[in-house]
């Protein structure tokens, strides 16, 4: 699975800014990997607060 850094890098390419601007949010999304190793783990938080 990708490290939060790689997700943050994708956000930089899409939205601009720096990797540091996005690291906190992507690290938060990826905390759910501790619960389940399923690749869909990010959807738990991504859609939970919508």
23, 4 in Cβ contact below 8 A?
Answer: yes
Considering only CA atoms, which of 49, 2, 46, 8 is closest in space to residue 26? Answer: 8
Predicted confidence at residue 42, as pLDDT, reads 65
DSSP 1-50: ---HHHHHHHHHHHH-S-HHHHHHHHHHHHGGGGT--STTHHHHHHTTT-
How do the pLDDT tens digits run along the chain, 50 residues long? 478 898 899 999 999 999 999 999 888 877 777 766 666 666 666 655 54
Residues 6+ apart with CB under 8 A from 39: 1
Predicted confidence at residue 16, as pLDDT, reads 97
Which token pair is 11?
A: 């956000």
């Amino acid at each position: 699975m990708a490290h939060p850094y790689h997700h943050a890098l994708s956000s930089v390419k899409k939205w601009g800014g720096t990797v540091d601007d996005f690291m906190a949010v992507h690290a938060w999304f990826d905390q759910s990997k501790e619960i389940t190793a399923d690749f869909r783990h990010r959807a738990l938080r991504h859609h939970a607060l919508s």
